[in-house]
Amino acid sequence: MGEAIKEGREEVIQAWYMDDSNEDQRLPHHKDPKEFISLDKLAELGVLSWRLDADHYETDEELKKIREARGYSYMDFCVVCAEKLPNYEEKVKSFFEEHLHTDEEIRYCVAGSGYFDVRDRNEAWIRVWVKKGAMIVLPAGIYHRFTVDSENYIKAMRLFVGEPVWTPYNRPHDHLPARKEYIDNFVKVTGNGAIDASA
């Protein structure tokens, strides 16, 4: 994908290390002082991101190129808000359970906003704030969770290679091949099996 859709990503995607407070999950949870992380650093954890034209997703050539290059043949939409989602509060809590998938999780925010939290190599939480126009790919095997922000509304396009499988595997599921592959690809492991935090 060209530089054109990498430019301006920070206007629709921001990432920072989270505090450890138990306050409402929908709050930003910044550390004090705030500790932002670059999107290039996120990419080192396997989290890819683009900025796209959410007002014209039906005809967007850049989205078409990404879908073709990465084999995203399946597409649907998910709206997370109290008016559209039955048992809204319970659902939002369930999305916030730490889990992994055996396939990539691809989300393109076409309206609203929300948080995807991912673990770094030292198990610290990084909060990724996606807004309208942001598309992110979470690699198979990464532990993560999702929540709406205080606006309580997101409409996201879900993309998938082939038939969709939405099964979440709540932590711990370290024995799954997707988790082992993620660690091999994105978390450097030393000879004694310990995670090398300097990677």
Annotated binding site for Fe(2+): 99, 101, 105, 144
Q: Distance (Å, rounded) from C-alpha 130 to C-alpha 1?
A: 19
For the beta carbon of residue 104, count every other beta carbon within 10 angstroms: 19
Closest of 170, 168, 192, 193 to residue 183, by C-alpha = 193
Q: Distance (Å, rounded) from C-alpha 154 to C-alpha 109?
A: 7
Please enumerate, by residue number, every residue annotated as part of a binding site: 99, 101, 105, 144
- In DSSP notation, 142-161 reads --EEEEE-TT--EEEEEEES
Please enumerate, by residue number, every residue annotated as part of a binding site for Ni(2+): 99, 101, 105, 144
Q: Distance (Å, rounded) from C-alpha 81 to C-alpha 123?
A: 30
